[in-house]
Amino acid sequence: MDLDELREAFAFFDGWEDKYRFVIDLGKDLPQLDDAHKTAANLVRGCQSQVWLLTELRGGRMRFAIDSDAQIVRGLIAIILTVFQDRTPDEIRAFDIEGLFAELELIKHLTPTRGNGLRSMVARIHQEAKRGAA
């Protein structure tokens, strides 16, 4: 799914409950990390659930493997990957992810702790992109 398809899918649903189920469904297709990668070093701080992030810079583009122990968070990860996977560090840092979250009405429907966790994942990805651009 690309960003335009993601926007179309969210626009299709009228209520938040349908969008919420859609987000959970997105997470079901997300590959799981091997337990060997679920280490403290890969843990994203600031998330209510456990979230692990692996980053690789290949050919000037960022590749991410992200996993969580919570279904809704896995769906949020799928949205983040739709935006950031295979992008250059500069593209990642320039993209208005908060604007997308507002457009999709994600933050206003998530609990404050989930919203903070989502922002923590994005902050960590931005850190990795900054490191990749250096």
* Residues identified as active-site: 47
Place of tokens 């968070």: 73
Give the residues across from 64 on adjacent strands: 55
- CA–CA distance, 68 with 48 (Å, rounded to integer): 10
Map residue 66 onto helix, strand or coil: strand
CA-based R_g, the chain, Å: 14
Q: Tokens for 49?
A: 């659930």
Main-chain phi, psi angles of 132, to 5 degrees: -70, -25
